[in-house]
Amino acid sequence: MATFFMFGKYTPEGLKGMSTDRTNKIKSIVEKFGGKMKSMHAILGDNDLVFVVDFPGNNEAIKASVAVTKATGIAFSTSPAVTVDEFDKLMGDI
Protein backbone atom coordinates (compact mmCIF):
# COMPACT_ATOMS: atom_id res chain seq x y z
CA MET A 1 0.00 0.00 0.00
CA ALA A 2 1.14 3.52 -0.79
CA THR A 3 0.26 6.68 1.12
CA PHE A 4 -1.58 9.56 -0.53
CA PHE A 5 -2.70 12.98 0.69
CA MET A 6 -6.14 14.01 -0.54
CA PHE A 7 -6.53 17.80 -0.38
CA GLY A 8 -10.11 19.06 -0.44
CA LYS A 9 -11.48 22.53 -1.14
CA TYR A 10 -15.12 23.27 -0.46
CA THR A 11 -17.24 24.43 -3.35
CA PRO A 12 -20.59 26.17 -2.76
CA GLU A 13 -22.25 22.81 -3.54
CA GLY A 14 -19.91 20.97 -1.16
CA LEU A 15 -20.68 23.33 1.73
CA LYS A 16 -24.37 22.39 1.59
CA GLY A 17 -23.88 18.72 2.38
CA MET A 18 -21.75 18.83 5.53
CA SER A 19 -22.70 15.94 7.83
CA THR A 20 -21.42 12.88 9.63
CA ASP A 21 -23.27 10.81 7.03
CA ARG A 22 -21.25 12.41 4.23
CA THR A 23 -18.01 11.77 6.14
CA ASN A 24 -18.97 8.11 6.41
CA LYS A 25 -19.84 8.06 2.70
CA ILE A 26 -16.35 9.37 1.88
CA LYS A 27 -14.79 6.59 3.97
CA SER A 28 -16.93 4.02 2.13
CA ILE A 29 -15.85 5.34 -1.27
CA VAL A 30 -12.18 5.13 -0.26
CA GLU A 31 -12.69 1.54 0.88
CA LYS A 32 -14.54 0.68 -2.35
CA PHE A 33 -11.33 1.43 -4.24
CA GLY A 34 -9.15 -0.63 -1.91
CA GLY A 35 -8.11 2.28 0.30
CA LYS A 36 -7.77 2.67 4.02
CA MET A 37 -8.47 6.04 5.62
CA LYS A 38 -5.62 6.77 8.06
CA SER A 39 -6.77 10.23 9.18
CA MET A 40 -9.04 13.12 8.20
CA HIS A 41 -8.34 16.75 9.10
CA ALA A 42 -10.08 20.09 8.62
CA ILE A 43 -7.39 22.70 7.96
CA LEU A 44 -6.96 26.42 7.38
CA GLY A 45 -5.22 27.85 4.33
CA ASP A 46 -5.42 27.07 0.63
CA ASN A 47 -7.34 23.85 1.31
CA ASP A 48 -10.14 23.04 3.74
CA LEU A 49 -9.52 19.33 4.25
CA VAL A 50 -6.67 16.87 4.12
CA PHE A 51 -7.06 13.11 4.30
CA VAL A 52 -4.18 10.69 4.70
CA VAL A 53 -5.11 7.51 2.84
CA ASP A 54 -3.39 4.27 1.88
CA PHE A 55 -4.20 2.86 -1.57
CA PRO A 56 -2.82 -0.13 -3.48
CA GLY A 57 -1.61 2.21 -6.23
CA ASN A 58 -2.12 5.31 -8.36
CA ASN A 59 -5.08 3.94 -10.31
CA GLU A 60 -7.13 3.32 -7.18
CA ALA A 61 -6.18 6.72 -5.74
CA ILE A 62 -7.26 8.50 -8.93
CA LYS A 63 -10.58 6.66 -9.07
CA ALA A 64 -11.33 7.36 -5.41
CA SER A 65 -10.40 11.04 -5.72
CA VAL A 66 -12.76 11.55 -8.65
CA ALA A 67 -15.51 9.47 -7.03
CA VAL A 68 -15.33 11.44 -3.78
CA THR A 69 -15.43 14.74 -5.70
CA LYS A 70 -18.39 13.57 -7.75
CA ALA A 71 -20.30 12.33 -4.67
CA THR A 72 -19.66 15.33 -2.42
CA GLY A 73 -19.09 18.42 -4.54
CA ILE A 74 -15.79 18.95 -2.73
CA ALA A 75 -12.92 19.53 -5.18
CA PHE A 76 -10.12 17.07 -4.36
CA SER A 77 -6.56 16.80 -5.55
CA THR A 78 -4.58 13.74 -4.57
CA SER A 79 -0.82 13.41 -4.21
CA PRO A 80 1.44 10.45 -3.41
CA ALA A 81 3.59 10.82 -0.31
CA VAL A 82 6.44 9.08 1.47
CA THR A 83 7.74 9.63 4.97
CA VAL A 84 10.94 11.64 5.39
CA ASP A 85 12.70 8.44 6.50
CA GLU A 86 11.62 6.72 3.27
CA PHE A 87 12.69 9.77 1.27
CA ASP A 88 16.14 9.74 2.92
CA LYS A 89 16.57 6.07 2.00
CA LEU A 90 15.53 6.75 -1.61
CA MET A 91 18.00 9.63 -1.86
CA GLY A 92 20.83 7.69 -0.21
CA ASP A 93 22.23 6.36 -3.48
CA ILE A 94 22.00 9.60 -5.47
Question: pTM for this one?
Answer: 0.90
Q: Determine the pLDDT at residue 53.
A: 98
At residue 23, the pLDDT reads 94
Residue 5 confidence (pLDDT): 98
Look at the chain and report how many structural domains it folds into. Answer: 1
pLDDT in tens, the chain (94 residues): 999 999 999 998 888 888 999 999 999 999 999 999 999 999 999 999 999 999 999 999 999 999 999 999 999 999 999 999 999 999 998 8
| Sequence-ordered list of residues with C-beta below 8 angstroms from that of 71, at least 6 positions apart, any chain | 25, 26, 29
φ/ψ bin of 37: left (φ > 0), alpha (ψ from -120 to 50), beta (otherwise)? beta
Smallest CA-to-CA distance from 76 within 31, 32, 29 is with 29
The CATH number of the domain holding residue 47 is 3.30.70.260
Q: Which domain holds residue 27?
A: 2-91
